[in-house]
Amino acid sequence: MRCLGSPAENSRSSAWVSAISRRSRRSKTASVRRSTARAARSATACRRSGARASWRKSGRRAETNAASSWSSYRSRARCFRPIPDEVLLALDDADDRDGDGISGRAAIVTDIATGHRRVGRFGWKAQQATLLAFSADAYRNEMGITNDLFPDEVAFGITAEQMKLCDRIPDPEDKPDRRTRRRAIDNFESFMKFLAPAGRGPIDDAGRAGEAVFGAAGCASCHVPSLQTGPSPNPLFNRKVVPLFSDLLLHDIGTGDGISQEAASPQEFRTPPLWGLRLRRPLLHDGTAATVEDAIGLHGGEAASARGRFLALPADRRAALLAFLKSL
């Protein structure tokens, strides 16, 4: 951006900045509105499941008497308890006490929404402990929409004065709706919470045999087949077995990206869940694996032994294992 020059140049520059600012405001406002509209139905489902809100109808409108978005969040937190921290802490083996070469560790992070220390489980580095924090993080870092959990713009190499030229919307940009007291990040949280996981694909005899090979090869040491949610008054989440195929712990398998994030070191990643694997390509955090075989071949570190066992499998047992993975 040119800030100095002839009056004509400065005039053109000011007009350009003004146009960019208008487009930026319209884009961000539209983005928040679209997100809110898409997630509203999911948010309603959560409210009906037991969150404390008092509703009164006026024509076709329903208004909530929730005191604030913060108290609304705490109410919803009581009606939704995901996989408890204790389950993940029980899997923690950072010192490899059992000597199997696997030293997964729980990512202890501060939940930015509550200030409590929790086990992280969302994100490649398990950097967030709750869906609300994950939602707020994505809004700011992926879409550039600040919120009260992440109120500051990400502006590498740009001064505050330069930022004001192109973004004149006061931060935080995601503000509670006047009627519902819900932010867009609250609606996005509800939208993700009520998304059904991908169902299991077709599985034949080879795939069923491959599940046993999966365990024998040591894959299940990190890709734990299932975990269980905690107690919840909402039957959708109450003590449900989740076929996640992940321990949600941090591991070093030799594919580090050199980035430290929250509790994760530059070499560590959270074990990626394998449910829905058949629908995802490419694989790994940087997309360097085009196929399941490629991804397994890139495993090292804690997973080197499992990779070696996979590569040593007879052709029929390897085919069975791949058939199992392609059914997930």
Is the pLDDT at 78 greater than 70? The verdict is no
- Residue 139 has a pLDDT of 97
Q: Which residues are within 8 A (CB) of 81 and not within 5 positions of it... i.e. 6 or more apart? A: 229, 230, 231, 232, 237
Highest mean pLDDT among 51-60, 195-204, 220-229: 220-229
Cβ atoms < 10 Å from Cβ of 265 = 15
Label residue 198 by pLDDT band (50, 70, 90).
confident
Q: Bridge-partner residues for 241, per DSSP?
A: 228
- Residue 47 has a pLDDT of 41
Q: Bridge-partner residues for 283, per DSSP?
A: 289
Is the pLDDT at 94 greater than 90? The verdict is yes
Is the pLDDT at 27 greater than 50? The verdict is no
- Residue 166 has a pLDDT of 86
Q: Tokens at residue 79, please?
A: 């009606």
DSSP string, 63-96: EE--S-HHHHHHHHHHH---S-HHHHHHH--TT-
Residue with the bigger pLDDT between 48 and 309: it is: 309
Measured between its terminal Cα atoms, the distance across the chain in Å is 50
Is the pLDDT at 46 greater than 90? The verdict is no
Q: Do the Cβ atoms of 154 and 144 come closer than 8 Å?
A: yes
Is the pLDDT at 5 greater than 50? The verdict is no
Q: Is 275 helix (H, G, I), strand (E, B) or coil?
A: coil
Tell me: the pLDDT tens digits for 250-303? Answer: 999 999 999 999 999 999 999 999 999 999 999 999 999 999 999 999 999 999
Sorted by where each begins, the domain ranges of the chain are 11-52+121-195, 205-325
Fold of the 205-325 domain = Cytochrome Bc1 Complex; Chain D, domain 2 (1.10.760)
- Residue 69 has a pLDDT of 35
Tell me: the pLDDT tens digits for 134-171? Answer: 999 999 999 999 999 999 998 888 888 888 888 889 99
Q: Which residues are within 8 A (CB) of 234 and not within 5 positions of it... i.e. 6 or more apart? A: 49, 50, 79, 80
Residue with the bigger pLDDT between 234 and 36: it is: 234
Label residue 56 by pLDDT band (50, 70, 90).
very low
Is the pLDDT at 68 greater than 70? The verdict is no
Residue with the bigger pLDDT between 20 and 144: it is: 144
Q: CA-to-CA distance for 83 and 242, rounded, in angstroms?
A: 9
Q: Do the Cβ atoms of 223 and 271 come closer than 8 Å?
A: yes
Average pLDDT rounded to a whole number, residues 177-187: 96
DSSP string, 134-182: HHHHHHHHHH----SSS-S---TT--HHHHHHH--SPSP-----TTT--
Average pLDDT rounded to a whole number, residues 104-125: 95
Average pLDDT rounded to a whole number, residues 210-233: 96
As a whole-number percent, the residues of the chain with pLDDT over 90 amount to 67
Cα diameter, the chain: 77
- Residue 60 has a pLDDT of 31
Q: Tokens at residue 67, please?
A: 């005191």
- Give Cα separations from 48 to 38, 51, 326 (angstroms): 18, 7, 37
Is the pLDDT at 77 greater than 70? The verdict is no
Nearest to 87 by CA among 224, 264, 221: 224
- Residue 305 has a pLDDT of 97
Q: b/e for 45-67, b at 16 or more Cβ within 10 A? A: ebbebebbbeeeeeeeeeebebe
